[in-house]
Amino acid sequence: MLKKPSYFGWASSIYKYDMASAPVKPNFTWGPFVVDRYGDGNNASSFTAPSGDIPYDTLNKRYFSDNVEFNRFYALVRDFIKSRLGHPVVRVELDDFQILTAIDEAVSKLDYHAPDWCTQLAAFRTQAKVNMYELPSFMVNNFRYAAYKKSLLSIPLANQSLEMDFFIKYFQDNFLFNDFAVSDFLLMKMHLKSIRKILGREGSFQIVNGKYLMVYPTPVNSDAEDVVIEYKCLNTDTLHHYFINWIQRYALAISKGILGEIRGKYATLPSPQGGAQLNGAALIAESEKEMEKLEEQLLSEIEEPAAFTTY
């Protein structure tokens, strides 16, 4: 009789690491606060995650039939949009759902290009014989790095690291009475990194299916360690006022395009004075120009460029 295959066996066959059990949903620690998971959920509402009023669970997942509700931050952006479009002096032909989708798009844009100072840290402790852990969507969407098993040979030293001992010995033998060469030291560090991977137990990681964090080697009974995750996440409680204004202006530009399409259906409206001209085409042109300008500003001023180092 053929044995039914395991659907998690592919990971161990590809990476040659034994995954003894199915993925687990760990509890996380943010800074000094231990945060418990509420129930079995894995979305932002299952944690007291540091995201303020950003609704990561429903971001860009709204239905027209849903009841539209604005939290404090979204109401702030909504009022900005309406006032800039002339409300309440003139009528603004936008409903709440259209404004809500515009705000969602603006938040998503800034979240994707979030600056480095929006970096956040979270940690969890591994479990024995488990090497795959399910991450919340708000964490994995802007995942940057995971630190796991970074001690050389897994031997903690009291005062100095083994890397420092290597450096002192190398410096004494080569540069104590000679010119110091940074390039030679970097080559030594690269060699030391290779030794750590071969002889030590430095861990590595991989994101699987945009949902799971796989760490290896697989923890054993006496080998559970903390995993520190670095990711980016907008927090409206600490978000810089310049970024808040960028969200307001980008959502306004999107709303202008929507309003322009609505008003563009008719060139004029009949009235006793001969008709009123609608500015649909002008709003669409303004929307495209302002969105282009704000996106250029986002890439050049807000999102940090790639770092380059020369020697």
Are 216 and 203 contacting, i.e. CB atoms less than 8 angstroms apart? yes
User: What is the mean predicted confidence (pLDDT) over 93-102?
Assistant: 95
Q: Are 155 and 201 in contact (CB under 8 A)?
A: no
Q: Which pLDDT score is estimated for 95?
A: 94
Q: Judging by beta carbons within 10 Å of its beta carbon (0-12, 13-18, 19+), is residue 9 exposed, middle or buried? A: exposed
The region of weakest confidence among 32-41, 179-188, 273-282 is 32-41
Q: Which of 132-146, 167-181, 239-253 has the lowest mean pLDDT?
A: 167-181
CA distances from 145 to 191, 279, 306 (A): 23, 48, 16
Give the pLDDT mean for 162-170. 60
**The pLDDT of residue 132:** 92
Which of 101, 96, 131, 112 minimizes the C-alpha distance to 26? 131
Residue ranges covered by each domain of the chain: 19-150+203-302
Higher pLDDT: 21 or 33? It is 21
3-state SS class at 226 = strand
Q: How many residues does the chain have?
A: 311
Average predicted confidence (pLDDT) for the chain: 77
Q: How many CA atoms lie within 13 A of 104 on its CB side?
A: 18
To which H or E segment does residue 246 belong?
Answer: helix 241-263
pTM of the full structure: 0.69
- One DSSP character per residue, 38-64 reads -TT--SGGGTT-S-TT--TTTTT---T
Residue 292 has pLDDT above 90, yes or no: yes
Beta bridge partners, 226, equal 125
